[in-house]
Amino acid sequence: MAYHNNYLAGNTPKEVPPREGGFSTYPSTVEGIKVRKTAPSFEDHYSQARLFWNSMSPVEKDHIIQAFSFELGKVETIEVRQRVVNMLGKIDHELAALVAKEVGVKRPNVSQVSVQQSSAALSLINQPRYPNTLRVGVLIADGFDGNETKYVLSELEEAGLELVFVGERLGDVEGTDSVKYSIDETFLTGSPLLYDGLYVIGGSDPSRYFMRKARNFVRDTYNHFKPIGATEEGAVIIEQMNITGKPGVIVEREASTFVNEFVTAMAEMRFYSRVYRNV
């Protein structure tokens, strides 16, 4: 049963035994006696988990440790936290020790399963990378370079990226050569957490509010290891934040070069070699 053993509720609810009216498999002869029983393999709860852990990259392992630490950190009963960490110890001693330290329980003294195999297919980092359907938050204001922006955005859409225009307020923004775009989200209604990457265009004379909010969006995007691109006035924001040249930060004056590099960065999706919360 999925809810057994249950420490907090004294192992209840539980199955009703046959003598009290619960289900009982009818024993019938089929070259032997049929009974209600699971195969011994059902008792192996940790081999697959160990295979999964072995297959993770260092970054993925770190995320798993943080995830367990977060979830168990919300559990108020120390004994429950300890029991879960004891189970983690059967998967991997290092995993259990690091989580135990984070959630304030003892490092478990249990035997670790002996599985040594790994599978590259289980690691997300080892999977093929494509830009298709990934969302790009486009930070744009009045006065942008119309022709160049039109070319870049057209190429990004051709590569399969989905563009979400973000600005100060809803409505149209207009650049040179009468090029216009409609704002999809404002800095209040949008969020860098909802985009897979950021393309900062800016405008010829953006307001202080735009610059401040754009820096906030760039900071959050950078700290989540996502790609960031900038051309024109947008490059000024990147330069002010001292992240030019960092992994996944694409600043190019040549439009065609920028498109190729930014699409490649978007397909990569995450750049974990950055120093965490560097800006």
- Specify the DSSP element, H or E, that contains 150: helix 146-158
Which regions of the chain carry the CATH code 1.20.1370.20?
18-35+46-122
Percent of the residues in the chain that have a pLDDT greater than 90, as a whole number: 74
Please give the pLDDT value at position 72.
Answer: 97
Per residue in 2-20, pLDDT (tens digit) is: 556 777 888 788 888 889 9
Query: Is the pLDDT score of 267 beyond 80?
Result: yes
Is the pLDDT at 62 greater than 50, yes or no?
yes
Given a cut of 90, whether residue 31 has pLDDT beyond it is: no
36 — pLDDT class (breaks 50, 70, 90): confident
- The CATH classification number of 18-35+46-122 equals 1.20.1370.20
Closest CA to 8 of 86, 84, 81, 80: 80
- DSSP-assigned letters across all residues of 231-279: -TTHHHHHHHTT-TTSTTEEE-SSHHHHHHHHHHHHHH---TTSPTT--
For residues 160 and 197, is the Cβ–Cβ distance under 8 A?
no
Please check the confidence at residue 88 and state whether its pLDDT lies above 60.
yes
118-135: average pLDDT: 92
pLDDT for res 3 = 58
Provide the mean pLDDT of the chain: 91
Q: What's the pLDDT tens digit per position in 44-57? A: 899 999 999 999 99
Nearest Cα neighbor of 134 from 186, 191, 194 is: 194
Q: Where in the chain is the domain with CATH 3.40.50.880?
A: 135-268
pLDDT in tens, 159-199: 999 999 999 999 999 999 999 999 999 999 999 999 999 99
Q: How confident is the model at residue 30 (pLDDT cuts 50, 70, 90)?
A: confident
The pLDDT of residue 1 is 47
pLDDT at residue number 87: 96
Comparison of pLDDT for 99 and 42, the residue scoring more: 99
Give pLDDT, residue 192.
95
Query: What CATH superfamily classification does 135-268 receive?
Result: Class I glutamine amidotransferase (GATase) domain (3.40.50.880)
Please say if the pLDDT value at position 34 is more than 80: no
Give the pLDDT score at 275: 64
Q: Tell me: the pLDDT tens digits for 214-250?
A: 999 999 999 999 999 998 788 999 999 999 999 999 9
Cβ contacts of residue 117 below 8 Å, gap of 6+? 51, 54
pLDDT grade for 277, boundaries at 50, 70 and 90: very low
Phi, psi of 164 (to 5 degrees): -125, 110
Q: What percent of the chain has pLDDT over 70?
A: 97
Among 230, 226, 272, which residue's Cα sits nearest to residue 253?
230
Burial of residue 272 (CB within 10 Å: 0-12, 13-18, 19+) is middle
Predicted local confidence at residue 39, as pLDDT: 82
At residue 278, the pLDDT reads: 43
Q: Under a CB-based contact definition with an 8 Å cutoff, are residues 231 and 220 in contact?
A: no
